[in-house]
Amino acid sequence: MDFTPIARKLLGGRLARATAWEQPEGLEQTQRRVLRWLLHRARHTVAGQRHGFGYLGTYEEFARRVPATGYEGIRSDVMRMVAGQGDVLWPGKVRRFAQSSGTSGGKSKYIPVTDDGLRLNHFAGTRDTVARYLQLYPDSRLFSGRALILGGSFANSLDNPAPGVKVGDLSANLIDAIPLAGEIFRVPSRKTALMADWESKLPAIATESMRHNITNLSGVPSWFLTVLRKVLELAGTDSIHDVWPNLEVFFHGGIAFGPYREQYRAITDASRMRYLETYNASEGFFAVADTIGGSGMLLLADNGVFYEFAPADADPADPHPQALPAWAVRPGEVYSLLISSCNGLWRYAIGDTVRIESVAPLRVSIAGRTRCFINAFGEELMVYNAEEAVAAACAATGAEVSDYTAAPVYATSGSRGRHQWLLEWVREPQGGAEAFAAALDKALCAANSDYQAKRQGGIFLDPPQITAVAPGTFARWLAETGRLGGQRKVPRLANDRHIADRLLEISNDQSPEGVRQ
């Protein structure tokens, strides 16, 4: 039975609501209302008492009174919540926490996943995504089958959370909290989805999913390729549509899709496959693509999150950056994203930078991480520059990569500085590493004027160095750092060599010939 017509009717109201904030004046009204509700709801919490939420009537007062913060500013409050204390950052006791990658101190972060956050944000964002997709594609039969959704686990690095408290990947928390009625439309089973051992989990997911009529996929592109290739291996075919003929869409997020587009094209029937990007982080579900082939994702303005946009180069230690509310941002600018949300985060810098693609309606694209960049030589290379350039170099040379990262190599008495790019090939470039390096360099110069200036004449910065690492290197690094299987990502850029040097050690250990350069 196809439940798509029923879903289309049920979700139509969410599309109607969004028209209220498609223009800046409506966006302002909506966001001010969200902020008033958040402050009223949390006025009796520790955070509310600390900052006087009950006395803050406007956004302007809120911005003056409440300092912006990163995770270290709330770590002690969060750990009190993990230990079972209630009414700290959000009313009541919080029983779920999303473990996220570590801060500069190397410790993991534990993001509260409140009941309000699940209902008003994460699950609402999922409904918004489906509603947008069904609006864009009237011929969809999305609910004639099931969704294949990858999940993490509740494996965590804590010794003694309070009884009843669950700590793990966001995806594990979401799957665990899905109402039983929702199990009808998703695969794999909850037991399989929450397995902690990825080596056992991968074949279990592949085997279980092959028995169902899968119409849609949801997850991170790099991880999903691993699963799909396992399915193809077990099925003895080279097209995933031979296994799931009704597969129609991949809802993806987490990393840029560009470097993986050709790999998905190679294993699908491109005439039947669609892709829709979402912005769903541990801290919240923020945006979803609402056009076909357009730039950016529509910011979800009424899903329990109040947004602020600080200068991308703002001092992270500044408690009162010159932040702008959503209705005052300028198109084309890149900002650091701050949120105040129904998960108890207040003027919280999530670590992402976003680019404003349009303001009516407000659409954003993910520009990168505030701590994920290379600026060792004044080049200010950002993640979105890297993603675009790698995709361009792959297209120019016929290469395919499964994963990559880059780090600076500092100048010595005999050489200038350069960037070293560590790549794990799926298909090596035509013309070898030199051809790929030339294409990458050309694309980076086109994307980033600061990089181009430093490369001018080869005076300050040498061409990029391409280093192929042994197959499985990135997966082993993720396993070593406790990130394998939870749809975690390898940082694309780093301003130091800690990650790159460890990856090289792993690659050399497993390859008798050493890494190829």
Q: Name the CA dihedral angle for 21, 89, 345, 93, rounded to a multiple of 10 degrees.
A: -80
Q: Is the dihedral of CA 12, 13, 18, 19 positive or negative?
A: positive
- What residue segments make up the domains of the chain, in order of their start? 123-155+167-281, 373-510
Structure tokens at 334: 């890149």
The pLDDT score that the predictor gives to residue 474 is: 92
Q: Which tokens go with 11?
A: 């979700």
- pLDDT of 360 higher than 80: yes
Cα separation, 332 vs 334, whole angstroms: 7
Q: Which of 2-6, 412-416, 488-492 bottoms out in mean pLDDT, i.e. has the lowest? A: 412-416
Rounded to whole angstroms, the Cα distance separating 299 from 121 reads: 12
Whole-angstrom distance, CA of residue 129 vs CA of residue 296: 14
pLDDT of residue 117: 98
Q: Where are the alpha helices (DSSP H) in 110-238?
A: 115-117, 123-136, 170-177, 190-193, 198-209, 221-235
* pLDDT band, very low/low/confident/very high, at 106 (cuts 50, 70, 90): very low
Strand order across the 109-112 sheet: 109-112, 96-100, 166-168
pLDDT surpasses 80 at 88: yes
- Note the residue count of the chain: 517
Contact between 331 and 357 under an 8 Å Cβ cutoff? The reply is yes
pLDDT per position as a tens digit, 341-350: 999 999 999 9
Cα 258 from Cα 260, distance rounded (Å): 5
Query: What single DSSP character describes residue 118?
Result: I
Number of H helices, E strands in the chain: 18, 20
**pLDDT tens column, 303-348:** 999 999 999 878 778 899 999 999 999 999 999 999 999 999 999 9
Which one is the CATH code of 123-155+167-281: 3.40.50, 1.10.10, 1.10.405, 2.60.120?
A: 3.40.50
Mean pLDDT value of segment 144-165: 88
pLDDT tens-digit readout, 260-305:
788 899 999 999 999 999 999 999 999 999 999 888 999 999 999 9
Query: Looking at the predicted structure, is the pLDDT value of residue 157 above 60?
Result: yes
399 within 8 A of 488, measured Cβ to Cβ? no
The full 3-state SS of 308-323, as one line of letters, equals EEEECCCCCCCCCCCC
Mean pLDDT of 463-484: 87
CA-to-CA dists, residue 107 to 53, 150, 419, 493, angstroms: 30, 25, 27, 19
Check pLDDT > 80 for residue 101: no
pLDDT in tens, 412-452: 656 778 999 999 999 999 999 999 999 999 999 988 877 88
- pLDDT band of residue 105 (cuts 50, 70, 90) is very low
Q: From 448, 316, 446, 441, select the one nearest 375 (Cα to Cα).
A: 448
- Residue 483: pLDDT band by 50, 70, 90 thresholds? low
Geometric angle at alpha carbon 31, from 29 and 35, rounded to 5°: 115
More confident residue, 112 or 293: 112
Q: What percent of the chain has pLDDT over 90?
A: 66
Q: How confident is the model at residue 515 (pLDDT cuts 50, 70, 90)?
A: very low
